[in-house]
Amino acid sequence: MDLQVRIARLESLEAIRQLKHRYLNACDLKEVETIRDCFAEGEVDIDYGPLGRFQHRDGFIELYQRLACQLRVIDSHHGANPEIELLDDDHARGRWALSYFNLDAQTGVTRRLGVIYDDRYQCIDGQWKITASRSRILAEVLGRHQP
Amino acid sequence: MDLQVRIARLESLEAIRQLKHRYLNACDLKEVETIRDCFAEGEVDIDYGPLGRFQHRDGFIELYQRLACQLRVIDSHHGANPEIELLDDDHARGRWALSYFNLDAQTGVTRRLGVIYDDRYQCIDGQWKITASRSRILAEVLGRHQP
Amino acid sequence: MDLQVRIARLESLEAIRQLKHRYLNACDLKEVETIRDCFAEGEVDIDYGPLGRFQHRDGFIELYQRLACQLRVIDSHHGANPEIELLDDDHARGRWALSYFNLDAQTGVTRRLGVIYDDRYQCIDGQWKITASRSRILAEVLGRHQP
């Protein structure tokens, strides 16, 4: 394979990981427009199980705002174990683990999830975007802040 | 250093991280053959402290199946902080942190470990494999699911 | 962009992530000189909020030794979601999430923090160093080891 192609492949892996990291940090920081921008503008398949399934990013953003954009909701979305596979120059898929931790600042109830993401990515006009994301909850543990 | 060598070095770092990520995700998803395939086929040194020490991957797989392949065992193996060092074209070592979280779905008991891995990797027939892995538990915290 | 420049850019991203990973692992393993070496020797801006603000790495190291270098202090600093942006050949910034978990081995009290780091890095004499690091606590949950 020529050097140009090999470098482009490494750059795509970097860009895709950075995309997901930007998404996850934005979820914790409640940066709504950054979250929206991580998904493709056209048809997507966001399947977050019990949270719902969305064919357009705006439907998901609406839910996110309703659920997360409250002072009492304190979230940690920490990605781990990315396995990114490039399918061609403009398409990729990825499997990630997610360590999700939620604190309800009003009640002190905590919720820890172990999650697996199966994603699809596409490079559109030179920018990698999430076109599909399916999350499955492997583990759920409830607890309580004990000051 | 010529460009070809520098690209090969970056590709090796990607492949080694991906190898460990595949291993950790497979441990959570109980994909036994994927776990087996992450280790070299010949002599290895898997030293998981209190869990045992294994010179062949099959011995470890047998233990993994006995301990983990039960419905009540719900594991999260989330890797962090990879420090990968290439020793030559075909050999590398790595230090990782692991956030391990176990839920016993029958009793609701939880067990959180902070772990450090010291690994060795070898590229065999073009595929990076784990040839040695030593884990040390730095922190252990028991808890309980409080529904 | 020519290939040489693109490879150098990928190498810098690798080196900066590895720097932070080395820092975080060293914090858990209490490798004081490794921690010191992760920061630039000259003026830095380490702003760890309630822990203090330091213009020289030695001031922070002194605090670290006082707080962390005790047998009862068992820490996990697990980095996640690195978003590294190269500003020029020798300067970069980065945003990370941190999953911090502390166990007081004497009392059994646990403390989990969700943290965001905003960092600056500089390549000095061929080595990337942390020149600024600001951490903000997003989430804090106290608990207890329940043996």
- Tens digit of pLDDT for each residue in C98-139? 999 999 999 999 999 999 999 999 999 999 999 999 999 999
Mean pLDDT (chain A) is 97
Q: pLDDT grade, residue C14 (50/70/90)?
A: very high
Judged against a pLDDT cut of 80, whether residue B1 lies above it is answered with no
State residue C66's pLDDT score: 97
Torsion angle defined by CA atoms of residues C4, C128, B81 and A30, in that order, rounded to the nearest 10 degrees: -90
State residue A72's pLDDT score: 97
**Left (φ > 0), alpha (ψ -120 to 50) or beta: where does C81 sit?**
left
Nearest Cα of chain B lies from the Cα of A11 at a distance, in angstroms, of: 11
DSSP codes, chain A: --HHHHHHHHHHHHHHHHHHHHHHHHHHHT-HHHHHHHB-SS--EEE-GGG-EESSHHHHHHHHHHHH-STTEEEEEEEEEEEEEEEETTEEEEEEEEEEEEEETTT-EEEEEEEEEEEEEEEETTEEEEEEEEEEEEEEEEEE---
Within its chain, how far is the Cα of B52 from the centroid?
Answer: 14
Strands B91-104 and B73-88: antiparallel
**pLDDT above 90 coverage of chain C, percent:** 99
Distance between CA atoms of residues A97 and B24, nearest Å: 9
- Interface with chain B: mutation pick from C6, C21, C22, highest number of B CBs within 10 Å: C21
State residue B122's pLDDT score: 98
Contact flag B29-A138 (C-beta cutoff 8 Å): yes
Contact flag A141-B103 (C-beta cutoff 8 Å): yes
Judged against a pLDDT cut of 80, whether residue A1 lies above it is answered with no
Q: Which residues does chain B have within 8 Å of residue C76's beta carbon, measured at their own beta carbons?
A: 97, 99, 114, 138-139
State residue B16's pLDDT score: 98
Judged against a pLDDT cut of 80, whether residue A81 lies above it is answered with yes
State residue C31's pLDDT score: 98
- Rounded mean pLDDT of B54-61? 98
Give the pLDDT confidence of B31-49 residue by residue, as tens digits.
Answer: 999 999 999 999 999 999 9
State residue B64's pLDDT score: 98
Among residues B9, B16, B1, the alpha carbon closest in space to that of B84 is found at B16
Q: pLDDT grade, residue B3 (50/70/90)?
A: very high
- Residue ranges and CATH numbers for the domains of chain A are 3-144 (3.10.450.50)
Give the pLDDT confidence of C36-78 residue by residue, as tens digits.
Answer: 999 999 999 999 999 999 999 999 999 999 999 999 999 999 9
Among chain B residues, the shortest Cα distance to C82 is held by: B81
Among chain C residues, the shortest Cα distance to A18 is held by: C83
How many residue pairs from chains B and C have C-beta atoms closer than 8 A? 74
ipTM exceeding 0.95? yes
Distance between CA atoms of residues B130 and B121, nearest Å: 5
Among residues C86, C64, C90, the alpha carbon closest in space to that of C77 is found at C64
Judged against a pLDDT cut of 90, whether residue B127 lies above it is answered with yes
Give the count of beta carbons closer than 10 Å to the beta carbon of residue A26. 21
Give the pLDDT confidence of C75-96 residue by residue, as tens digits.
Answer: 999 999 999 999 999 999 999 9
State residue A41's pLDDT score: 97
Higher pLDDT, A85 or B147: A85
**pLDDT above 70 coverage of chain A, percent:** 99
Q: pLDDT grade, residue A133 (50/70/90)?
A: very high
Q: What angle do CA A31, C21, A80 make, to 5 degrees?
A: 55
- Rounded mean pLDDT of A124-133? 98
Judged against a pLDDT cut of 90, whether residue A39 lies above it is answered with yes
- Interface with chain A: mutation pick from C83, C141, C145, highest number of A CBs within 10 Å: C141
- Rounded mean pLDDT of A95-109? 98
Contact flag B83-C18 (C-beta cutoff 8 Å): yes
Judged against a pLDDT cut of 80, whether residue A138 lies above it is answered with yes
Element (H, E) at C67: helix C57-68
Is C49:C135 a contact under the CB 8 Å cutoff? yes
What residues 23-52 of chain C have any CB closer than 8 A to a CB of chain B?
24-25, 28-29
